[in-house]
Amino acid sequence: MSASLIATVAVAAPLEKSLSYRVPEALRSSVQVGVRVRVPLGRRTAVGYLLALDEGDPDGLKDIAEVLDRDPLFTPELSAFYLRAAAYYLYPPGEAIRTALPSGLSGRDSDITILNESFYHPLEKQGVPSGGRQKEILACIREQGEVALSALRERFPSPYAPLARLCELGFIGEQEREKIRDPFLSAPLPPDTCVDLTGDQQAAVESLVSALASKSFTPFLLHGVTGSGKTEVYLRAIAQAMNLGRRALVLVPEIALTPQLVARFRARFGGGGTTIAVLHSGLSDGERYDAWRAIARGEVQVVIGARSALFAPVPELGVIVVDEEHEASYKQGEGFRYHARDLALMRGQMVGATVVLGSATPAVTTHQRALSGQIGYLRLAGRVTERSLPKVELVDMRGEQGVGALSQPLTEALEANLLRGEQSLILLNRRGFSPYLLCSDCGHTFRCPNCEITLTYHQRPRQLRCHYCDFQVTPPELCPRCQGDHLLPEGTGTERLEEELTALLPQARIARMDRDTMGRKGAHGQLVSQMEAGAVDVLIGTQMVAKGLDFPGVTLVGVIQADSTLNFPDFRSAERTFSLLTQVAGRAGRGERPGRVLIQTYSPEHYALECAARHDYGDFYDQEIVFRQELGYPPFGYLVNLVLAGNDAGKVSASAQNLADALMEQSPDVDVLGPAPCPLARLRGKTRIQILLKSAERPSLRRLLLALPALKKTVVAGVSLAVDVDPMDML
């Protein structure tokens, strides 16, 4: 049989390998790597992603049914990256690619409409038409040379009939063009600020420029204290990459950081014909789709976005920046459980790019790599313009007798700051009004029927909510257990703190930044603009207020319940606490006036808090690394968390035990810890049991993972198995 064109397709289904299909003659001209195709899969059809084309024997292969895209969504280079990432995290390749692509492109057909707009231009025909409206519209078009239909509609109500007649008579021509949904369309271009580099900044830029010139994979840790000018170093490195004809990818951990960072980049690059694209979940599907296609066409020089932007089809990629690289939000928590920082290093290695991991509080694993010489180490030891770091005080709450969430020292500091006309920021890493609703007569609390947690009470609107499965219910007037009427909110969330502060400081303008208030499109940017304009006196927020925001007017930072992250059942709890406190402390004193930070705690002697109060990352690292080495945790060991879940608790338990036994037989040199119930033993109605794999050597752990598909037979039907390579939490 003669050779045929064979397509390698990653089907968007839980299949461990890609499949081969024959390309029928009718589709030869339209198939190319990076397009979506519809293919037969068993008795149904499914969407797949075309990864490769080769001549081969078509015997036994089914035909591709349809090509769904005119232009490719990713390149062969990205295809290799997607497959390598999927293999590392043991995730089906088609499902991994579906995760990587923008929303709206994962279904059978595109859910997104390509917008088009008509443009009208004058033709050479002389004279004037007879109608008055036609004359006015023709004069306008001849005067401007070319006019968009949207502009004509603003000037001439209902211009459709006159335009159609002018086209018919040959006075004007019509051309339809694609219209890009641009989130910056109405945003003014901010002014750029020229700054003189400090000595540390200059040394960092020179190292990055040298690495970019080599056009080879060169990773760096840019370790700079808060306010040390890391963003300026990013900007200089990206400018150099663009001078070399290459492009940049910048990752941020939170949408809240995007408006300020984008403004800095547009100020530096946006006025010179350079295009900046943004990719994050705060945009509409259409805006993300248009940005993705513009990136793929090579029309964009700088891409800025959250973790999923890592998969953007940026050609000629020269530099990748991972800002706040220590942030756990770079790790995808469900499905394709990738870590964007680690995949940034992988992608940089594959394309020969310079990768910059920036942080004031680097992950312990990243800092250890830098100290051991595995990646370059660039240090920014002080703030720009010789500003001092804020003074940090630990408020021992064991001696506080006050009522409410605010201690006396913090209350007095807030009042004094307001009198001086300065801004304050309060961190409370808990949403809602209170963590739970308690019957003071019998002690009853309300628990989620689907998850192993109490329901959080939200006062506006009056609801009990589960922050894991989104279950919501209106609380009853009487206790369902004892019929008592003393249902009281216990504990404090950001909503209750806002109410408390409003009563304490009635004249203050108070705003809140958490997931409840930032759900509306554009809410992040609007609140950031209000803070920058001085229209907010006190900003309350969850951890998103601690990450990279630059508000020169903030001189006071308060932290409520600083111990909450210390109590998590996770070996990284001290690291997360230190990072969060150091980062939020760094929001104070970034302007001309000095900053002050008050941290309320019941554990003032804990080394994570003591080191945060001194801004002493080095001492924290020295103490933390000893603990990690003694217990064999990263960076001295490697972890994989296996989570089994199902509706039948007995089946889940039996499957977990059978799988653990099989794993121990397969690889005795890997520690198999468990099975044990997950800290959240029930989530979204399913019983959850975990098995933790731990090894001092990565190769032995990888060998065991490669055997895992064969061992899945120990998991019975109705029980799912999720594989989390390099887990960031084990809840």
Q: Where are the domains of the chain?
A: 4-77, 116-178, 199-386, 391-434+491-627, 638-725
User: pLDDT per residue over 639-669, tens digit each?
Assistant: 999 999 999 999 999 999 999 999 999 888 8
Instruction: Give me the chain's average pLDDT, please.
Output: 90
Read off the pLDDT of residues 426-469 as tens digits, 9 standing for 90 and up.
999 999 999 999 999 999 999 999 998 999 999 888 999 999 99
Is 307's pLDDT higher than 90? yes
Domain 4-77: which topology?
Answer: GIY-YIG endonuclease (3.40.1440)
40 Cβ contact list (under 8 Å, min separation 6): 62, 63, 65
Strand order in the sheet with 66-67: 19-22, 4-11, 44-56, 36-41, 66-67
Same fold, 199-386 and 391-434+491-627: yes
| Helix intervals (H) in 393-547 | 408-419, 494-504, 523-532
What pLDDT, on a 0 to 100 scale, did the predictor assign at position 187?
A: 61
Helix (H), strand (E) at residue 622: helix 617-631
pTM (predicted TM-score) = 0.88
Residue pointed to by tokens 């299949």: 15
Considering the four listed CATH numbers 1.10.3720.10, 1.10.530.10, 1.10.10.10, 2.40.40.20, the one that applies to the domain covering 116-178 is 1.10.10.10
The phi-psi region of residue 632 (left if phi > 0; otherwise alpha if psi is between -120 and 50; otherwise beta) is left
pLDDT for res 517: 87
Give the CATH H-level superfamily of domain 391-434+491-627.
P-loop containing nucleotide triphosphate hydrolases (3.40.50.300)
CATH topology assigned to domain 638-725: Alpha-Beta Plaits (3.30.70)
The CA distance from 77 to 85, in Å, is: 13
Mean pLDDT, to the nearest integer, of 587-610?
A: 93
Q: Which of 116, 113, 66 is nearest to 289 (CA)?
A: 113
Pick the more confident residue, 366 or 679: 366
SS3 call for 319: strand
d(CA 242, CA 397): 52
- Asked if the model's pLDDT at residue 105 lies above 70, the reply is no
Beta strands in 618-705 (DSSP E): 638-646, 671-683, 686-695
pLDDT greater at residue 274 or residue 19: 19
Predicted confidence (pLDDT) at residue 410 exceeds the cutoff of 80: yes
Across residues 57-77, what is the average pLDDT?
Answer: 90
Residue 180 pLDDT exceeds 80: no
pLDDT, one tens digit per residue, over 508-551 is 999 999 888 887 877 888 888 899 899 999 999 998 888 777 88
Q: How far apart are CA 413 and CA 397, in angstroms?
A: 16
Q: How far apart are CA 172 and CA 188, in angstroms?
A: 33
More confident residue, 339 or 59: 339
* 199-386: CATH architecture: 3-Layer(aba) Sandwich (3.40)
